[in-house]
Amino acid sequence: MLVRGIFNDGRPHISGLLAFPSLCGLEYISVNFLVDSGADRSVITVNEYKDYFSYHDLLNYPLRVSTGFGGGIITRLVPAHLALRTEAGSYLFQPLMIEVPNPKKFDKTLPSVMGRDILNCFSLRIDRTDGAVILDEPAYPQLRFDWMLEGMEEDELSADIDGMTMQEALQTVSTPENYPQRENK
């Protein structure tokens, strides 16, 4: 099951759909991710989510300092579902904890990023000679729940989100029967 991306301005991108069940139900947000195998976690920018929810809606989610080439930024860690359309027209669903930066303290020209939290679940191929940006068969048949917890601090895991701890929220989004369903179009 191949998921194909494209090169945009010479950089590899993969498009996907994100659902934030605790914020906007089962409505999906279309996101164009820059593929960044050096990023620990995936990030969605305000340009992608501004029509669906506000940063103010995220105040109950744990704060995290995300560091990278441009220095540190403050983000909120939010449980989500990623749906990636395969060449065959079906969808691969992947739970994740995505970082959402504060739009007032984030360079709005930076793209959303698909990091190793997703990329490590697939075989990634980037080949400039034939323009290939490909996620191939999942590296593991099912995402292990403990990978989503990797690198999270104890206060992040115990944060209260709508009456659940972050760990409980993660267990909920990582259960396949709780994946938002999307019809193939």
Q: The domain spanning residue 20 has which CATH number?
A: 2.40.70.10
Longest CA–CA span in the chain (Å) reads 51
Q: What is the pLDDT of residue 180?
A: 46
* Number of compact structural domains in the chain: 1
Q: Per residue, what are the HEC states of 1-64?
A: CCEECEEECCEEEEEEEEECHHHHCCCEEEEEEEECCCCCCCECCHHHHCCCCCHHHHCCCCEE
Indicate whether 64 belongs to any domain.
yes
Q: How far apart are CA 138 and CA 122, in angstroms?
A: 4
Task: Print pLDDT tens along the chain (185 aa).
Answer: 789 999 999 999 999 999 888 887 778 899 999 999 988 889 998 888 888 888 888 888 888 888 776 677 888 999 888 999 999 888 888 888 899 988 887 777 789 999 988 998 888 999 999 889 999 876 554 444 454 555 566 666 666 655 666 666 666 655 555 544 444 44
Q: What is the pLDDT of residue 166?
A: 62
Q: Which is nearest to 96 in space by CA: 112, 74, 73, 107?
A: 112
How far is residue 169 CA from its own chain's centroid?
15
pLDDT in tens, 159-184: 665 566 666 666 665 555 554 444 44
Q: What is the pLDDT of residue 158?
A: 65
Q: How far apart are CA 171 and CA 176, in angstroms?
A: 10
Its pTM stands at 0.76
Indicate whether 181 belongs to any domain.
no
Q: Which two tokens stand for residue 157?
A: 């895991």
Indicate whether 180 belongs to any domain.
no
Q: How far apart are CA 76 and CA 56, in angstroms?
A: 11
Q: What is the pLDDT of residue 7?
A: 95
Q: What is the pLDDT of residue 17?
A: 93
pLDDT in tens, 97-118: 899 988 887 777 789 999 988 9
By residue range, what is the domain housing residue 58?
3-172
Indicate whether 179 belongs to any domain.
no
Q: Which residues contact 150 (CB under 8 A, 6 or more apart)?
A: none
